[in-house]
Amino acid sequence: MTTYVVGTNSVHTSATICDYLGRRVGQGDTVVAVNSHRGGDDTSPEDIRDGEDALNAVGARLGEQCTVETHQFVRANDPEEDLLRAVEEFDADELVIGIRKRNPTAKVVFGSTAQSVLLNADVPMAVVPLVTVD
């Protein structure tokens, strides 16, 4: 029995991560899908709706193979903080996130939630590549 924490922010990310997990999960496993927003002026109603859609996609894709729990956090934390807390709270065996391929300039300009998670996670991680962004 394995517990996976999954960070998602879109239906596309959820689908790509589910493609990866669909080959790995089975009965007895648990997938905890997490969507995180800072809240206040930084989060619109559309952001909340898109987050719910992303979480629902995980349940729809993996719900027959394993147990799926979904959590949408809107509590003034950075997404990496919510993901790392979820790893601890749910005693995760693995953390799964998606990353976008970026050119070096975009990386410097935009920073990276994934980079922060990679540097601070204390469980094995799977990093699933998403669409290339130039």
Total structural domains in the chain?
1
Give the model confidence (pLDDT) of 97-110 as tens digits: 988 766 665 554 44
- CATH value at residue 63: 3.40.50.620
The answer to whether the beta carbons of residues 39 and 74 sit under 8 Å apart is yes
Greatest mean pLDDT among 15-29, 96-110, 117-131 lies in 15-29
The answer to whether the beta carbons of residues 118 and 127 sit under 8 Å apart is yes
Residue 94 lies in a domain: yes
Residue 85 lies in a domain: yes
Residue 22 lies in a domain: yes
Domain that holds residue 94: 3-129
What is the pLDDT at residue 129? 85
Residue 134 lies in a domain: no
Give the model confidence (pLDDT) of 84-93 as tens digits: 999 999 999 9
- What pTM did the predictor assign? 0.87
